[in-house]
Amino acid sequence: MEEENAVELLQRYRRDRRILLDFILSGSLIKRVVMPPGAVTLDDVDLDQVSVDYVLNCAKKGGMLELSEAIRDYHDHTGLPQMSSTGSTGEFYLVTNPEYSGSPPRRVPPPVPAFTPTPVYTPSPVSTPAPITTPPVFAASPIVSSVSRSESFNSAQVQELTVDDIEDFEDDYDAEEVDSLRVSRRTTNDASELALKLPSFATGITDDDLRETAYELLLACAGAAGGLIIPSKEKKKDKRSRLMRKLGRSRSEHVVMQSQRATGLVGLLETMRVQMEISEAMDIRTRQGLLNALVGKVGKRMDTLLIPLELLCCVSRTEFSDKKAFIRWQKRQLNILEEGLINYPVVGFGESGRKLSELRILLAKIEEAESLPPSAGEIQRTECLRSLREIAIPLAERPARGDLTGEVCHWADGYPLNVRLYEKLLLSVFDMLDEGKLTEEVEEILELLKSTWRVLGITETVHYTCYAWVLFRQYVMTSEQRILQHAMEQLTKIPLKEQRGPQERSHLNSLHSKVEPGGSRDMSFLQSFLSPIQRWADKQLGDYHLHFAEKSAMMGNIVAVAMVARRLLLEEPEVAMQSMSITDRDQIESYILSSIKSAFSRLLQTVEKADPIHGHPLTLLAEETKKLLKKESTMFMPIFSQRHPQAAVVSASLVHKLYGNKLKPFLDGAEHLTEDVVSVFPAADSLEQYIMGLIMSLCEEETAEVYCRKLIPYEIESISGTLVMRWVNSQLGRILGWVERAIQQERWDPISPQQRHGTSIVEVYRIVEETVDQFFSLKVPMRSTELNSLFRGIDNAFQVYANHVIDKMASKDDLIPPVPILTRYKKEVGIKAFVKKELFDPRLPDERRSTEINVLTTPTLCVQLNTLYYAISQLNKLEDSIWERWTEKIPREKFIKKSIVEKSKSFTQKDTFVGSRKDINAAIDRICEFTGTKIIFWDLKDRFIDNLYKPSVSLSRFEALIEALDVELSQLCDIIVEALRDRIVTSLLQASLDGLLRVILDGGPSRVFSPSDAKLLEEDLEVLKEFFISGGDGLPRGVVENQVARIRHVIKLQGHETRELIEDLKSASGLEMQNGRSKLGADSKTLLRILCHRSDSEASQFLKKQYKIPKSSA
């Protein structure tokens, strides 16, 4: 709030000040007011720069008021503090700059050394000073007082220069020194590519000539506003003179001090002089010449003068330090006249064309006059200048662009001279000590330059275009981001064609020039200035990976510059015809294509030079390309995507194509899984998957699929799958060979008390796991097809193993003796003979088969069971391990095709080793059944099958078998693994019950039973049951009960009377025809066998009559 009040008070103060001055100057307080040079009325004078004190003093004295003196007085006292009017001579103010003063000294000053002062030299009042032979001493000089006492008073140097002496010197920097000063500011980049597409000047005008002429023109335009005064001697020597270098004063400090002293238009012109590197001698010379040119031209504005001609007339050669400097200066003025009036006139000559040759002759004669004797040369120069005025002034004051005669002097507004001069003025906006920064007075400078628009024929469009080019060129030289942003702002201010008025469009259409050798190409103004910008931007963006590797933010501005320049140039007829079909998106794509190709080419060169020890070139290339694409998508594509939504897709697709072209020959030659294949395939596949994922993440699903279909896939997975399948098949053949070998060498001895399985299964698992390890060590891409093949191969190997284990095992039927022929009961006399007869049966095992059965001892069978159980239990671990490693191996990114994932999931849900599990379990069941049957029907055959219940139940009870059965069971349990114990014991239980049933129903003629034996048989069955339950340590009671139930029913039938059994058999025979059973719940075969073993004549007679069964003696 306080700041706003202060600003408001300041504005009110300035307004009141102007009103007061206008009242004083317009009233009768001042007898006469003399306008400053270039001003016609008070409206042309900036009253803010007029000293009020000076005006009031003149009013008090009643004298004449010279406004130029009032303006000078204002600027002379601007940098000083307000003085009190005490008039005391002892009071003074020391103007210092606190920024450069530093802190006050903290130590005691050293004592003053005793010395004898030399007599003070006082210069003679004579106008021509005599030579000085002794070194002078300057008394009370404020400049020299800053020098150390030893240098000022005790120096042995030849002669010091005073400030007044410096006035007599022209700036004597040689070219090398100036160049070194410029280079010391900042190391600049080459901006030659941004050279304007404008024709060169026939007269050979240099950039320095244009710069100096531009400053002269600026002074004239400033003079028209009343701001042109000749600075006093105290403000001279802005440039660094030799004395200033001796005093160690920096340019920056001097500029700061000057800017503090001078404000307003005068101060701004002083800043411009320093910025444009114009010597003060030239500045004073030009100011004085322009002021002299207005003498006698009442009402004439300074900016309507033909400035080069007026300066030629008003500046004499005596004002130059040497003749050579004057000749250079005069040559420049003559060249400017020739270029402005003859080579690039705004108005055509028409009838005045005959004056063209006269004008050239006069210019040549003026230049020639310098080679004549002084008197003759001066006469010729004066006469030629007079004649030149007579011809040049009418030519320059011809009306153009709707102005009136004499209103504008057309000598500098011809294209392209005007824009070249304006360019030099615009260059003053940059800090002369740091070209990468704009000067603090940039806004004031640009406002001041507007005063030159009328003389130079500059419009807003021309200004914005020229200023944008100047800023952009400066950015190229300095790489300053802020300068680039300013350039972008100016480009966006350039109005489009439809935004320009009719007069503006007409003016721009007239600005054309011939360029290139022979002037064959006609270029418009916008083309001349904007085409270098666009061409440079296109070149940089054509390899943005190189030029903007660490400057992506700057790249965004360059893209904007390129697009704006392109849009403006497309409105030009010639450019529009050439680029009619190229859109902004096409241009963005061309940048991407060009830059990625260049970056990829550099990657190729780097990879080719890399040491082979680091990997295959295609592997390295894939890795580097992936890094390139990551940088592309994160740094550059967000910039391009603002103007081309699918820019990243274009980029990714091109990278895919470029790498694919290099990869294809390698893929075509891949036939086996070599080291190179194993190295290249994963890297290439990873790159492709990354590209596909990038595309799918940038687009909607349908759009992404369209782009992905356009890509030519590498098909690495397919090619790799074929090679992996070949490898898997060869390895599976190797596994089968090892299985055969392991089985052949197996002796079925347990490895140790703890590991009670055979060695062959361990060997098989070792080779299988080695194969699996090798499979997953193949880092090439794989499909589930290859995994499935591996599973099938391993599954087949274990099936082969299980089948080999039971291949040589005898059949169960070989263990069980043949069932005797059914006979009916006979008395004891015939039994002995029948028994002898039935002992021989051709179906009993032969000697070879018996040997095979005997080899398979109970311990051997137990080891086989343990081995098969080890195989099936480790199979689960192997399966889990394979799936876990496969899950880690396959990529899990979002872009994996759904079909592959679903296929893999469905495959995991299946039992992958279903065949081997089935075969191993079948083999276990068969061995368990064989083991139980062998113990009962082979090992215990004599005691169990042959002699149990002989000659009667009471004389041969089952308890006699328990000890032998316990020995066999103990042997089983000592060797068999815990997991198979119940399974093998259950098999033994089943075999025992089968043996018991065989004895009861098919025991042969030697076994007879009576109803009273049923109770004894029931007791024996209980003994057998309890033996296998073993008080809870054996089989579960429920399992045993279920097994015993089938024989318990047969024993109950033994307790029925013969009559009941006969009646039941009769009824059962009829019911079986109808799939029924008898009332006793038995089938006819069981009842028939019970009757055959019944010691009863009634049963014997029934069997003889009904079934024709022979007696035992038969």
pLDDT of residue 458: 92
Look-up: residue for tokens 């390899």? 543
The Cα–Cα gap between 558 and 538 comes to 9
pLDDT confidence bin for 1078, thresholds 50/70/90: low
Q: How far is CA 982 from the centre of its chain?
A: 66
Residue for token digits 């054509």? 542
Query: Does residue 1060 contact residue 1067 with C-beta atoms inside 8 Å?
Result: no
- Predicted confidence at residue 133, as pLDDT, reads 37
CB atoms within 10 A of CB 1036: 13
Strand partners, 1111: 824
Phi–psi pair at 18, nearest 5 degrees: -65, -40
Give the tokens for residue 963: 């000890």
Q: Please give the pLDDT value at position 615.
A: 84
Q: What are phi and psi of 37, to 5 degrees?
A: -55, 135
Whether the CB-CB separation of 412 and 456 falls below 8 Å is answered with yes
Give residue 500's region: left, alpha or beta (phi > 0; psi -120 to 50).
Answer: beta
> pLDDT at position 30, please?
79
pLDDT tens digit sequence for 1026-1065 = 999 988 888 999 999 999 988 998 898 888 888 888 888 8
Q: 934-957, pLDDT tens digit by residue?
A: 999 888 888 888 888 888 888 888
Span 522-536, pLDDT tens digits: 888 898 899 999 999
Which has more pLDDT, 105 or 1045?
Answer: 1045
Calculate the alpha carbon distances from 1106 to 145, 414, 1065, 1083 in Å. Answer: 161, 147, 11, 17
Q: Which of the 8 DSSP states describes residue 193?
A: G
Q: Tell which phi-psi region holds residue 224, choosing left (phi > 0), alpha (psi between -120 and 50) or beta.
A: alpha
Q: Which two tokens stand for residue 746?
A: 């197996």
pLDDT at residue 89 greater than cutoff 70:
no
Please give the residue that has the higher pLDDT: either 1070 or 545.
545
Distance CA 100, CA 232 (A): 25
User: How would residue 598 be classed by pLDDT, with cut points 50, 70 and 90?
Assistant: very high
DSSP conformation class of 1110:
P
Report the half-sphere exposure of 240 (CA within 13 A, side-chain side). Answer: 16
pLDDT of residue 81: 55
Q: What is the pLDDT of residue 1075?
A: 56
Give me the pLDDT at residue 216, please.
93
On whether the CB atoms of residues 686 and 735 are closer than 8 A, the answer is: no
Average pLDDT on 1097-1109 reads 84
Query: pLDDT by residue (tens digit) across 269-286?
Result: 888 998 898 999 899 999
241 has a pLDDT exceeding 50: no
Q: Which residues of 508-540 are buried (b: 16+ CB within 10 A; e: fewer)?
A: beebebebeeeeeeebbbbbbbbbbbbebbbeb
Residues 577-588 pLDDT 10s: 565 567 888 889
Range of lowest pLDDT (80-94, 218-232, 312-326, 660-674): 80-94
Tens digit of each residue's pLDDT (9 = 90 or more) over 611-650? 878 888 999 999 999 999 998 888 898 888 888 888 888 8
- What is the Cα Rg of the chain in Å? 60
| DSSP states along 168-184 | TPPP---HHHHHHHHHH
Tell me: pLDDT of 687 over 80.
yes
pLDDT value for 235:
47
pLDDT band for position 295 (cuts 50, 70, 90): confident
The pLDDT assigned to 38 comes to 64
Give the residue among 499, 512, 618, 630 at the shortest CA–CA distance from 573.
512
Amino acid residing at 894: K
d(CA 479, CA 125): 57
Work out the pLDDT band at 181, boundaries 50, 70, 90: very low
Give per-residue pLDDT as tens, 838-849. Answer: 443 444 555 656
Average per-residue pLDDT for the chain: 79
Look up tokens 């010379």; give the residue. 285
Give the three-state DSSP class for 979. helix
- 128-142, 732-746, 876-890, 1026-1040: lowest mean pLDDT where? 128-142
pLDDT of 260: 46
d(CA 12, CA 9): 5
Q: How far apart, in whole angstroms, are the C-alpha atoms of residue 304 and residue 409?
A: 5
Question: What pLDDT score does 240 carry?
Answer: 40
Indicate whether 449 pLDDT > 90.
yes
Is residue 868 within 8 Å of residue 923, measured between CB atoms? yes
- Averaged over 803-812, what is the pLDDT? 86
Structural tokens at position 590: 């061309």
Instruction: Give the model's confidence band at 350: pLDDT under 50 very low, under 70 low, under 90 confident, else very high.
Output: low
Strand partners, 34: 66
Q: How far apart are CA 374 and CA 380, in angstroms?
A: 10
Angle at 1018 between CA 1016 and CA 1024, to 5 degrees: 105
pLDDT more than 70, % of the chain: 78
Q: Would you state the pLDDT for residue 228?
A: 77
Residue 151: predicted pLDDT: 36
Q: Is the omega angle on the peptide bond into residue 109 within 30 degrees of 0, that is, cis?
A: no
Most confident segment among 88-92, 180-184, 1099-1103: 1099-1103
What distance in Å separates the CA atoms of residue 408 and residue 400, rounded to the nearest whole number? Answer: 9
What does the pLDDT read at residue 154? 37
Three-state DSSP string of 722-744: HHHHHHHHHHHHHHHHHHHHHHH
DSSP 656-678: HHHHHHHHHHHHHT--S--HHHH
- pLDDT of 1069 above 50: yes
- Helices and strands, counts by H and E, the chain: 48, 6
Of 177-191, 218-232, 302-316, 808-822, the least confident: 177-191
pLDDT of residue 450: 92
Provide the H-helix boundaries in 397-480. Answer: 417-426, 442-449, 453-456, 460-478
3-state DSSP assignment of residue 515: strand
CB atoms within 10 A of CB 736: 15
Residue 106 is predicted with a pLDDT of 58
DSSP H/E element including 436: strand 434-438
Q: Does residue 130 carry a pLDDT above 80?
A: no
**C-alpha dihedral over 653, 655, 659, 660, to 10 degrees?**
10
Residue 473 pLDDT > 90, yes or no? yes
According to the model, what pLDDT value does residue 513 have? 85
pLDDT at 828: 52
Instruction: Report the SS3 class of residue 513.
Output: strand
Q: What is the pLDDT of residues 548-564, one digit of tens each?
A: 888 778 888 999 999 99
pTM score of the predicted model:
0.64
* Alpha-carbon span 434 to 631, nearest angstrom: 34
